[in-house]
Amino acid sequence: MRFTQQFNLVQSQWELDFIDIPLESDIELYIDPYAITIEGTDFSKLCDNMITTYFQLIIESIKKGNKERVTYLLNNLHEPNDIHLGLSKNKSKGKGVGANKANHLADALMSTQAAKTGLLRDLSDCSLIIPGIGRDNISDITANIIRERLIEFTQEQCELYNIPMRKIQAGLIFNFETETWNNKYIELPHHNGSRILLVPKTFVRYSPSINAKDYYNDFVLDFLRAEHLTAGDSMVKTLKNKKEVVLKKDLKVRYPNSKEFLLDFSIKNSNIYDDYRNSVRTKPRRVLADEEIESKQEDSISMNFDKLMTDLVKIKTGKAPHSEIYHSHIFKILNILFSPNLKSPKKEERINEGRKRIDISYTNTTNPGFFNDLIAIHRIRAPYIHIECKNYSNDVANPELDQIRGRFSETKGMFGIITCRSIEDKIKLLKKTKDIMNDNAGYVIVLSDEDIINLLKGRQKLGIGAVNEYLSQHLKELLL
């Protein structure tokens, strides 16, 4: 029983901002605090600030030698069974920090030099060098720290999809003003009497971005290999071609991978530790595709792209009810095409104090791809993406172009898309969109049914990269 099944939602994982969790077990995905750090949306920044602030409270208490305070902060990071992420196959069972583990972890943190010397700087570091802390613990600890934000996110999704909620215990919420844990009753969805918390799909990974395996294999062993080669000791072997080498398999025997070893190594070689952390920041940001999320479900579902195309062609042009059917279908298609590079889809959003309406709008993210390139490469203001849907039989004309350019502003963004059924005179329409750009009034791309079908075919065969490339070509035509 998935969340969508329980509440009779017709949306697929591709169309949702959250993980479509199983309600009587877990899906093997984990919240990655580093994924939250790099996302760059207003919501993720709030969450990241909570994680950073909470961890600094722990570090400060360690430096002051206040074990009682450290234990209190850790002891309330209980198992968040309500998020349904992790390894449990039957009844959901999280791996937060229980009472006994809190005492052991407090002892470990108080005694290690990592916190006192500044080596331990954020929550992600714990999965690298603190014994007993793995990806499941980090995920559950993160969920506890940002619980208040996850509650707000869950409530927003329930309002969006008309999902019933009721007053239920919210679980312990950390009050950052009083620096205490508090419980309260709050409106949330539930299943068999148990509350449900939804998690943004952009927050999850198979394994943490910062992880001990990569650190050990790619940095620690490489450093040790160079050290032994320089020393010319017994670890060095001479090949038939007279080349001297130190084999990784021999290094792994002498230096087995363990948190205790990595902690000791990192304290002695903090520059290597910093090199690894810096390397993670320079790697391309990669968000899990919806297909990858689905692959972790016991009842994996494939997207029927052919039906999406067939249903689009069947819709008649004209006013209601055809325009409403077209609007809803385009909303579904764009959610699939643009996920996970855009999030928080809003249909018929009111702006300018309710005086105007945008057919569809999205929040841009910092995920690699076309929409991030608008900002990073082309310097186009695009914190939000505006979409207007036109179910006309004739070409898009000045009134429609004036309408979408009226949506633009420095705060809302200067980029938008118009979807329409067909384009007879592409050269004339391109000239009109260039005129808008040359007037510094914004950037508009027009996508016909033909374009939408090409995008769906590309997404089906090649993934999100094909969508990015297709849109980039359209933007190139506009800019040149």
Q: Are residues 130 and 201 located together in one domain of the fold?
A: yes
pLDDT for res 100: 59
| Average predicted confidence (pLDDT) for the chain | 89
Look up the pTM and report it.
0.85
Band (pLDDT 50/70/90 cuts) for residue 103 is confident
Q: How far apart are CA 17 and CA 347, in angstroms?
A: 14
CA atoms within 13 A on the CB side of 133: 29
- Per residue in 262-290, pLDDT (tens digit) is 989 998 999 999 999 889 888 777 789 89
Residues 254 and 109 in one domain: no
Q: What is the span of the domain harbouring residue 264?
A: 212-282
CATH number, domain with residue 375: 3.40.91.30
Q: Token pair for residue 58?
A: 């722990």
Number of domains in the chain: 3
Of 186, 205, 224, the last residue of a domain is: 205
Structural domain includes residue 294:
no
Residue 300 lies in a domain: no
CB 423 within 8 A of CB 395: yes
Q: Which tens digits make up the pLDDT trace of 5-35?
A: 999 999 999 999 999 999 999 999 999 999 9
Amino acid at 442: G
Is 289 contained in some domain? Answer: no
Q: Among 18, 35, 133, 153, which Cα is nearest to 77's?
A: 133
Give the residue ranges of DSSP H helices in 64-134.
67-75, 99-111, 113-116, 123-129
Per-residue pLDDT at 112 exceeds 90: no
Do residue 238 and residue 333 come from a single domain?
no
Average pLDDT for residues 436-453, to the nearest whole number? 96
Quote the CA–CA distance of 118 and 270 in Å, as a whole number. Answer: 10
User: d(Cα 172, Cα 243) in Å, to the nearest integer?
Assistant: 60
Whether 106 shows a pLDDT value over 90: the answer reads no
* 187 and 220 part of one domain: no
The identity of residue 210, as a single letter, is I
What's the rounded mean pLDDT across residues 228-246?
91
Residues 6+ apart with CB under 8 A from 95: 79, 86, 134, 136, 137, 140
Residues 96 and 194 in one domain: yes
Shared domain check, 432 and 411: yes
